[in-house]
């Protein structure tokens, strides 16, 4: 079983739609959680950190469920520019950082 698992997609949604991604992790000792975004042939960039209480940044909402060991990302009012691969990232103490394989999103006009 992979340490961090994501549905690879792709998710094909129309502009304005709401889309949600989930990510599960296997190590219950994991301490920090993030969502990164990676555009085609570009480097990963931090989208948002994920806090225990849940957090929101504009159209993006991230949530953490420690009991079930998953994190989620909700994108509301999807834009064409949201098309990218979304990487779930889990950090387990110190520096050990595990990236999920990513979920591909295509937003269509």
Partner 1 sequence: DAGVIQSPRHEVTEMGQEVTLRCKPISGHNSLFWYRQTMMRGLELLIYFNNNVPIDDSGMPEDRFSAKMPNASFSTLKIQPSEPRDSAVYFCASSFGSQETQYFGPGTRLLVL
Interaction site with partner 1 (CB under 8 A): 32, 34, 42-46, 49, 87, 91, 94-102
Query: CB of residue 2 vs partner 1: minimum separation in angstroms?
Result: 9
Between residues 42 and 59, which has the closer beta carbon with respect to partner 1? 42
Identity of the residue, 17 or 98, whose beta carbon is nearer to partner 1 in the bound complex = 98
Strand partners, 46: 36
Tell how far CA 47 is from the center of its chain.
Answer: 8
As a whole number of angstroms, the distance between CA 83 and CA 104 comes to: 8
If you count DSSP H runs as helices and E runs as strands, how many of each does the chain have, helices first?
A: 0, 11
Nearest distance, CB of residue 15 and partner 1, angstroms: 28
Distance CA 95, CA 91 (A): 7
* Nearest CB to partner 1, comparing residues 47 and 107: 47
Yes or no: say if 74 and 86 are a contact pair by the CB < 8 Å rule.
no
CB of 94: closest distance to partner 1 in angstroms? 6
Residue 3 CB, shortest distance to partner 1, in Å, is 11
CA angle 12, 15, 18 (to 5 degrees): 75
Nearer to partner 1, 10 or 16 (CB): 10
């Amino acid at each position: 079983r992979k340490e961090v698992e994501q549905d690879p997609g792709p998710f094909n949604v129309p502009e304005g739609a709401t889309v949600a991604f989930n990510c599960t992790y296997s190590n219950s000792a994991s301490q920090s959680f993030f969502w990164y975004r990676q555009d085609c042939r570009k480097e990963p960039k931090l989208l948002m950190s994920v806090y225990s209480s849940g957090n929101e940044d504009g159209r993006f909402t991230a949530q953490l469920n420690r009991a079930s060991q998953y994190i989620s990302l909700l994108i509301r009012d999807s834009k064409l520019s949201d098309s990218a691969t979304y990487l779930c990232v889990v950090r387990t103490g110190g520096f050990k950082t595990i990236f999920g394989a990513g979920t591909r999103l295509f937003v269509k006009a």
